[in-house]
Structure 1
């Protein structure tokens, strides 16, 4: 019994020792955790504590960086791109206002003019002496000449427009050389008559008034010739000589032979004058003069059966014209003779030309200025001031470009081969007003190289070193 009591006490003592150990271990662990927490807090707090020197260092501006770009070896081309408009140039239209007489009888008064034939179409090229349109049975045709048909050309007329008509007839093979230049005489009438017959139309004539004058003059001549013949018979039968030319009448009261001859000579002169003013003429309603042939048809706004209420055909008096609109700031880059490339984005057509002339500044909307090009067509798409460039074709312009807005590209300057080129920002002027670039070596060291500049294009400029060395691949300073 006593032994059992002793064993229980020993077990309790052992259990109590184990508990003490556990509590001690817990105390040690807690102390360690507290130490770690204190150390971490100290480190964190230390991170927010700076010395005055460190604070100054942290607030100092960063060391500036250097921006560089490589020197390149390339061909430079400076191009200028602008807009342009094709126009028909100067045009001339035929607007018939009357029907010509083709015999001694005048046409019916008040008859409405009617389109009776259309023989051409838009953009067609036409030659001289060929009917284009027909109205009320009469042709409209073209002849070469600068002076518009501003009046009917009648026999006996004189002037520069008659000279023009005679030259036009001569160019078609109809001679007028027996007439004085500038005088609408018999030869000109005959040449014009042949032209109308070739076209298949009766020639227009001056009309009933001149025909009646000729008829009366001819009757007068015939009567006097009859009297002269009777006087000759009377003299032959009586054997008496006629009185002097100035005597008004013979003894029996009849006109003397001399008087009759005098009157006959005057009557024949009157007949010649009347005949000179009668016959074939050229109505202004039937002819269109253009400076050069073949002429291009701009429009034919009528069809057979239409009444004539406006132009029946419009022709370009010259070739199409291209006018470019140059930004005034590019004036120094452009001069006459430069080649240009022309592109129509609408049709895809491309062609080439050269600058013929550079016009004076045009400011749309300003007093005394306009936006019409020298060819008479309005310039499209002009919003600000521009310099009009007249551009001529290397060959003739394609008629499909008429009226189109196009892109014009010209090369203002170009290097003959590959040259050293740097960004424009790399070129600076030094104190002596010399241009130079700054080269940065791989080590960061910098050196100045003076240069001369040449062609610039797309932000790059040609440079040629005048002191120091410069090679493709070197890096030049463009900014900091």
Structure 2
């Protein structure tokens, strides 16, 4: 008997037959088993036994933080603020105009003096006998000297201001001849005349009564030479013997500065401005630096200590030396007035401070003018190298003993009793008690 198959699917299963359905269910069951197996594996990762959960949440084993024992000179580092100031200054404020030609009739007083030239600016350094500002075509210049120019100097004048002028003239290479020191004679007059000529100006003149036939370079008697010198426009007093013109040095045209070149503090005028006050201000000395030290650190700073100065605003460093350490200043209590020892009355700290004067190595960089700066001073607290540990390594027990805990290379710990000494910059000097040792590079516990 031969097999018979439906004509449309020879040799195959009949659609919808029992065999086809069995095959489909077998495939579905296999896929479901695979999915259930994978889900079980994934879910198993999140299942924890109570013991395992407790182990995972237990705090880790405590560890210690250590630091090395060092042997070095102990040093204190103080960082505080300071400010530069001009210190003492001197200004030129012209009040009248000298004449350069003899006159016989009084001249009319001008309505106002006018600035006719400005040849420098603030921050510059200027030398001796150089025109700085010009008013009514007359120069204002500086000469070296500490005594103030408080009067006009002319023939026959005597005094220490004349002696100062003579020294200044000689420093410029202008000899004063045979004039005695402190006496304005013909040699001094000639030197003044040559100084003005070198600046490009005619020498100022004044007039005096004279009964003789003396000329500008005659000495004559002191009484005859002193005469009646005038300031305003060089006007002459009538005299039966006639006026005699002599060289003078007007107080309105010169300022004496102790050290040259001097720094220009300010030039508050422009060409064409009326002269109503100072036309130029010069620093009598170099800039001064005053630091405002915390009173608690007063004993850590002394004269001669080295200082590092940093102006953060301009990124400029300089080295200096402590010149002096002043007395405690407490603003608002009457001891905060400016003085050479105190410095400014209102320090940036706003509270009590100790003024520290810092001198530079040479001349301060002009960029430091009016700058607020950071001052760092490092001072030795011990004269030799000592054994030291971080302050956090020292512990005190109930029995008042101080100890440090040393950790060996194997991790073992042992306590070393010590006595403490000087503290500086976070370190403290320690000395192990008898029978114990503590060496540099040992490691001590500073925390956990």
Asked if the contact 1:86–1:320 (Cα under 8 Å) also holds between the matched residues in 2, the reply is yes
- Out of 292, 310, 321, the position equivalent to 1:343 is 310
Asked if the contact 1:449–1:469 (Cα under 8 Å) also holds between the matched residues in 2, the reply is no
Residue in structure 2 matched with residue 201 of structure 1 by the alignment: 201
- Give the Cα separation in 1 of the matches to 2:414 and 2:343: 61
| CA positional deviation for 1:430 | 9.7
* Pairing 1:72–2:69 present: yes
Cα displacement string for residues 119-150 of structure 1 (whole angstroms, at most 9, x for unaligned residues): 11111111111111100011001000001111
- Out of 375, 381, 386, the position equivalent to 2:348 is 381
Residue in structure 2 matched with residue 172 of structure 1 by the alignment: 172
Higher normalized helix content (fraction of residues): 1
Residue in structure 2 matched with residue 85 of structure 1 by the alignment: 83
| CA positional deviation for 1:438 | 4.2
Cα displacement string for residues 277-296 of structure 1 (whole angstroms, at most 9, x for unaligned residues): 55111111000100011111
* Pairing 1:299–2:266 present: yes
| CA positional deviation for 1:167 | 0.4
- Give the Cα separation in 1 of the matches to 2:97 and 2:194: 20
| CA positional deviation for 1:388 | 0.6
Asked if the contact 2:155–2:189 (Cα under 8 Å) also holds between the matched residues in 1, the reply is yes
Q: 1:166 is paired with a residue of what secondary structure? A: helix
Cα displacement string for residues 192-225 of structure 1 (whole angstroms, at most 9, x for unaligned residues): 1111111111111123xx1xx23x5439x9xxxx
Runs of 4+ residues over 6 Å off in structure 1:
65-68, 268-272, 414-418, 440-445
| CA positional deviation for 1:356 | 0.8
Asked if the contact 1:342–1:408 (Cα under 8 Å) also holds between the matched residues in 2, the reply is yes
TM-score of the two chains, using structure 1 as the length reference:
0.67
Residue in structure 2 matched with residue 135 of structure 1 by the alignment: 135
| CA positional deviation for 1:102 | 1.9
Please show how residues 41-440 of structure 1 align to structure 2 within 5 Å. Answer: 70-73=67-70, 77-105=75-103, 106-207=106-207, 210=208, 213-214=209-210, 217-218=212-213, 274-275=224-225, 277=227, 279-371=246-338, 374=341, 380-413=347-380, 419-423=387-391, 426=394, 428=396, 436-439=402-405
Asked if the contact 1:336–1:357 (Cα under 8 Å) also holds between the matched residues in 2, the reply is yes
- Give the Cα separation in 1 of the matches to 2:445 and 2:388: 12
Asked if the contact 1:428–1:436 (Cα under 8 Å) also holds between the matched residues in 2, the reply is yes
Cα displacement string for residues 73-129 of structure 1 (whole angstroms, at most 9, x for unaligned residues): 376642111000001121111100111122222543133100001111111111111
| CA positional deviation for 1:175 | 1.1
Residue in structure 2 matched with residue 451 of structure 1 by the alignment: 419
TM-score of the two chains, using structure 2 as the length reference:
0.72
5+ long unaligned stretches in structure 1: 1-64, 222-267
Return closer, same or farther for 1:375/1:73 CA change in 2, 3 Å cut-off. Answer: closer
Q: 2:153 is paired with a residue of what secondary structure? A: coil
Q: 2:192 is paired with a residue of what secondary structure? A: helix
The alignment of Structure 1 onto Structure 2 pairs a total of residues equal to: 360
- Give the Cα separation in 1 of the matches to 2:340 and 2:223: 49
Higher normalized strand content (fraction of residues): 2
Q: 1:353 is paired with a residue of what secondary structure? A: strand
- Give the Cα separation in 1 of the matches to 2:294 and 2:206: 57
Return closer, same or farther for 1:475/1:200 CA change in 2, 3 Å cut-off. Answer: closer
Return closer, same or farther for 1:428/1:371 CA change in 2, 3 Å cut-off. Answer: farther
| CA positional deviation for 1:451 | 3.4
